[in-house]
Homo-oligomer: A and B are copies of this chain.
Amino acid sequence: MPLKRFFAELAWAGRAEVDTKAALRAAGDVITGAQIARDVMIEVDDGRITKVTPGEVQDAESVRLTGLTIPGLANAHSHAFQRALRGRTHQGAGDFWTWREAMYETASALDPDRYYALARATYAEMALAGITAVGEFHYLHHGPGGRAYGDPNEMGRALIAAARDAGIRITLLDCCYLRGGFDRPLDGVQVRFGDGDAERWAERMEDLLGSQSDTVLVAAAIHSVRAVDPKAMATVARFASEHEMPLHVHVSEQRSENAECLEATGHTPAGQLARTGVLGPSTTAVHATHLDEADVVSLGRSGAHVCMCPTTERDLADGVGPARALARAGSPLCLGTDSHASIDLFEEARAVELDERLITERRGHHRAPDLLHAATAAGMQSLGWNGGVLEPGAPADFVTLDLASVRLAGVEPSSVLEHLVFAASAADVVGVIVGGEQVVAARRHTKVPDVARSLSQAIKAVVEPAAVAP
């Protein structure tokens, strides 16, 4: 593959450090003191960054990136099919559990073709929003009645193909899901989630590993402490550890989950995970909304990432998790759009801070560089990608924003990162490069000609399955 060169008018190289010396240490010769560098030549070979040089002059061979270029955004928690629910679950009252009924109904309409089409369109929407890697938390493994497809990984491979065709990286977080609750078997559409036991989950996973590539990682997931017993959790954790892959798990999104876990086990969900050996630096706890102090300490000391999904946590009336306390305790934060009520990582990033403001009636819990770090390098790390920075050796994933939008107008050098976090929107993304390939140019997806139309058709096929030929 030939060397490619991109010329960024302005660039932020990533990393959270704002102290000049630390920034210099972290970014090597990339950023010479300032956080935002001008006229930065980014050289790319074989999908990776080979050189980053500020203060260059553009030449005819380099592609100009007009605006501010930042590392690609990582969406560390996605359920692609839930994009079909956007706007459709707000006509009654209820809570997370009544919402889940609608979600299960949508899940039950999926087959590999419909899932592929919906995920491809959803991932294309992510690309337009500057997301270059998605963590797909995947549990709809099997066909109606729980019967395995001819290829037991047909659904997972549909998701992998969807990401490839939408031009973004995927970490397929393949989920072990064995029971409906602490004392309940799988029920209804849940039978499609189950592999029977953790050993059979591991067998299926072994087969899936062959689908990995430069832009595809396979990783492990435990749905939740209610859906997987401790022995099976330990099996999944061991598998993840042996294969040096990330391990994701839903934790304490709802209070009733905590109450059930306490009643059944005498421990909180985070406590159960700690006892079962699930927590560690390659683990990501998703949501972590309702924690006690010991949970925060336990997660923080283990070095586990915590993936907050604030717009979903608003939508599903989950509550506000202790993001500040978790970060202080040692858990790197990352971000996910989860149910895709919205696909905008800038909104997720600011929501971490803003929702904590609402609860505490104080400002300034998280610095803007830290929130952008959550949206980039920390998310990439949670998903197993050594990226999210503009540095030699990192995957060549970057995103260019239009600083001349009405939302960002008035931005000044000393507060660019604050403007990005508190005022930018997915609509400000003008260009996206993944592995050195231009996936979005001039706000248009280069591989999916009409993303909105693809979304419309794919959603219609799922919410009105009878109306569409199979």
A residues sitting closer than 8 Å to B (CB atoms) are: 83-84, 86-88, 90-95, 98-99, 121, 125, 128, 255, 313-320, 341-343, 353-355, 357-365, 367-368, 404-412, 415, 418-419, 421-423, 425, 427, 451-453, 455-456, 459-460, 463
Question: A317 to B99, Cβ gap below 8 A?
Answer: no
The verdict on A452 contacting B317 (CB below 8 Å), with A90-B422, A410-B84, A415-B91 known, is: no
Question: B415 to A363, Cβ gap below 8 A?
Answer: no
Contacts of A343 in B (CB 8 A): 406-407
Give A340's nearest chain B residue, CB to CB: B423
Question: A411 to B87, Cβ gap below 8 A?
Answer: yes
**A92, A255, A343, A456: which has the most chain B beta carbons within 10 Å?**
A456
Per the bound structure, the CA–CA distance linking A315 and B418 in Å amounts to: 13
The verdict on A358 contacting B313 (CB below 8 Å), with A90-B368, A368-B90 known, is: yes
**A90, A128, A404: which has the most chain B beta carbons within 10 Å?**
A90
New contact pairs (16) apart from A91-B368, A317-B360, A318-B361, CB-CB < 8 Å:
A87-B411, A87-B422, A87-B423, A128-B406, A314-B354, A314-B358, A316-B357, A316-B363, A317-B357, A317-B362, A318-B358, A341-B422, A405-B452, A406-B452, A412-B463, A425-B427
Question: B452 to A404, Cβ gap below 8 A?
Answer: yes
Pairs across A and B, CB under 8 Å, 9 listed = A90-B353, A90-B363, A95-B362, A313-B358, A314-B355, A316-B357, A341-B422, A405-B452, A406-B455
Nearest 7 pairs of A and B residues by beta carbon: A93-B364, A87-B419, A409-B455, A410-B459, A317-B357, A427-B427, A409-B452
Contacts of A94 in B (CB 8 A): 362-364
The verdict on A451 contacting B409 (CB below 8 Å), with A90-B418, A90-B421 known, is: yes
The verdict on A415 contacting B88 (CB below 8 Å), with A404-B452, A406-B452, A409-B456 known, is: yes
In the assembled complex, the CB of A459 is this many whole angstroms from the nearest CB of chain B, namely 4
Contacts of A415 in B (CB 8 A): 87-88, 90-91
Per the bound structure, the CA–CA distance linking A413 and B451 in Å amounts to: 20
Question: A99 to B363, Cβ gap below 8 A?
Answer: yes
Question: B410 to A83, Cβ gap below 8 A?
Answer: yes
Contacts of A367 in B (CB 8 A): 91
Question: A342 to B91, Cβ gap below 8 A?
Answer: no
Contacts of A411 in B (CB 8 A): 87
Contacts of A318 in B (CB 8 A): 358, 361
Contacts of A363 in B (CB 8 A): 90, 93-95, 98-99, 315-317
In the assembled complex, the CB of A100 is this many whole angstroms from the nearest CB of chain B, namely 12
In the assembled complex, the CB of A245 is this many whole angstroms from the nearest CB of chain B, namely 31
Question: B90 to A364, Cβ gap below 8 A?
Answer: yes
Per the bound structure, the CA–CA distance linking A318 and B409 in Å amounts to: 26
Give A360's nearest chain B residue, CB to CB: B317
Per the bound structure, the CA–CA distance linking A415 and B91 in Å amounts to: 8
In the assembled complex, the CB of A271 is this many whole angstroms from the nearest CB of chain B, namely 22
Per the bound structure, the CA–CA distance linking A320 and B342 in Å amounts to: 21
Contacts of A362 in B (CB 8 A): 93-95, 317
Question: A317 to B86, Cβ gap below 8 A?
Answer: no
In the assembled complex, the CB of A90 is this many whole angstroms from the nearest CB of chain B, namely 4
Question: A459 to B86, Cβ gap below 8 A?
Answer: no
Contacts of A368 in B (CB 8 A): 90-91
In the assembled complex, the CB of A338 is this many whole angstroms from the nearest CB of chain B, namely 14
Per the bound structure, the CA–CA distance linking A327 and B467 in Å amounts to: 40
Contacts of A418 in B (CB 8 A): 87-88, 90-91
Question: B425 to A317, Cβ gap below 8 A?
Answer: no
Per the bound structure, the CA–CA distance linking A451 and B459 in Å amounts to: 36
Give A319's nearest chain B residue, CB to CB: B361
Per the bound structure, the CA–CA distance linking A365 and B93 in Å amounts to: 7
Question: A406 to B87, Cβ gap below 8 A?
Answer: no
Question: A453 to B361, Cβ gap below 8 A?
Answer: no
Question: B451 to A406, Cβ gap below 8 A?
Answer: yes
Per the bound structure, the CA–CA distance linking A373 and B463 in Å amounts to: 28
